[in-house]
Amino acid sequence: MTPYWRLFLNALDDFMLKFLSVCAVVQLVIEVSFADASHRSTSWIEGFAIFMGVFIVATVGSFNDWQKEKQFLRLQAESDKDNNMTVIRNGVEEVIHHNNI
């Protein structure tokens, strides 16, 4: 099973999330650099909100992928369990997986 952190990094590899991250950095640099003194203490909020949006989207997407993979592996194990067959080899009855026939 793919680790959650790898699914999270794969989710961050999306073009739109990369684009939004670059926009957040640009917004932070512009707002913090060119804001007047009275606005400077809150100018970081918009860029931070964009980063939080990117983080939330990547977290939800990777969690959904992790859940799907977990369910697929569970269903595959259930399917493999049903693929056992009883055969007679050398006069002895054995239960084996259908791939071993």
Model confidence pTM above 0.75: no
CA geometry: angle 47, 50, 53, nearest 5 deg: 155
- Residue extents of the structural domains in the chain: 4-100
Q: Which long-range contacts (CB under 8 A, 24 or more apart) does 3-10 make?
A: 4/62, 4/63, 4/66, 7/62, 7/65, 7/66, 7/69, 8/58, 8/59, 8/62, 10/62, 10/65
The predicted-structure confidence for 67-99, as pLDDT tens digits, reads as follows 999 999 999 888 777 778 888 888 888 888 777
